[in-house]
Structure 1
């Protein structure tokens, strides 16, 4: 099966269609969609949506874009929510967390410092509960690497990876997988395509980041997890591999990155 390792299925862009979108993705062969939270206000929403969809799981975290309005109380709430979620078989990771040094407001010194503080505290939560992390690394690969070397979670994914080969290898050496999605489908995305071809296949997972990061054939329209198989086919074409091999390899990489998926997928396939 295909696994979408990063999809904001609860986003307002989907309106009331989230479950229908998940159903269409299932019909297209997407056996699992991982829905990351972005702040404490949607912790309950992603958990509920994952429970209602037949092919979804979720992660809990505070996205760097939401850090400006986040407080210490949010971190305490997150820790309690993560501990409680361990009893939920659909809970698979801490995320989306990380650093964003692309948005100008987030690059101001005080906000960079706050981002790093929240990232480190969330890494500690993941480490304390032996959980992988789904990491936002936009223009911040080296800084993210610095922090995960100091506070080591149980692996995870560098989401929407677009760094150098050296940075990619550093993440791989630390036990992380690298997320590739719609950006790979653009012919002008030369560096991303080179990475997709040259990195070890077992280190690559697929994602849509829907409703964002739409692939070339629908850009700038709304992205959807139902497009993941076509994104996987593009990876197979770029690497000149059989599609089945890419599907199996990226599924195994996703399970390696998020081991709690293993029991969930076993239950799903037996249902």
Structure 2
């Protein structure tokens, strides 16, 4: 008996061009899934595809998720050619360090659109006929900043906290349809995005952040393996959950 396999499942992964999203697409492919890779940069999506198992069974679909109103049409188009989805991972995200004195409405909207609103549009689209199967699993990527305060990331923290709250409501509302909705709450993961953030902070602050993770900073595969579990049939009794994967950060 093979546990935690995803053979025969068709899964859409946003943010698949780099970082956590790229690793999720790779891990899911080695678990047997067929993947729709979504991101803005076709070249980077191709780089991801080259690292995946059985590249011929996957599909690259460049798309800018900030075009919120176009998401339902985009999903309808890709599923017409690829087939009904069995799962979705919304890993696309944006981050910025902006102190409260400098933040403005546009900053907040830009962050919320990608991190939160796009995910809600995807969930809504999955309810539509032939987009997602009745036993689909939807996974959104949140962050520990949605649980624990951190200076300079008000908009980002709000977007990630909104995900945690939204999946609970969505899970209850969609349970009768067989759809499961969960999120993963990572600590700081070593990606290009986190490296750019560290460049903008002091060495002392970087050390402090690292030391707040008892098991050290995370790797993209740590989040990818958690995603694979939530997408598997073995997680069929899990919905509305915020799965914390943070190396002990929130245990303090």
TM-score bracket for this pair, using the shorter chain length? 0.3 to 0.5
- TM-score where L is the length of structure 2: 0.41
* Structure with the higher helix share, 1 or 2: 1
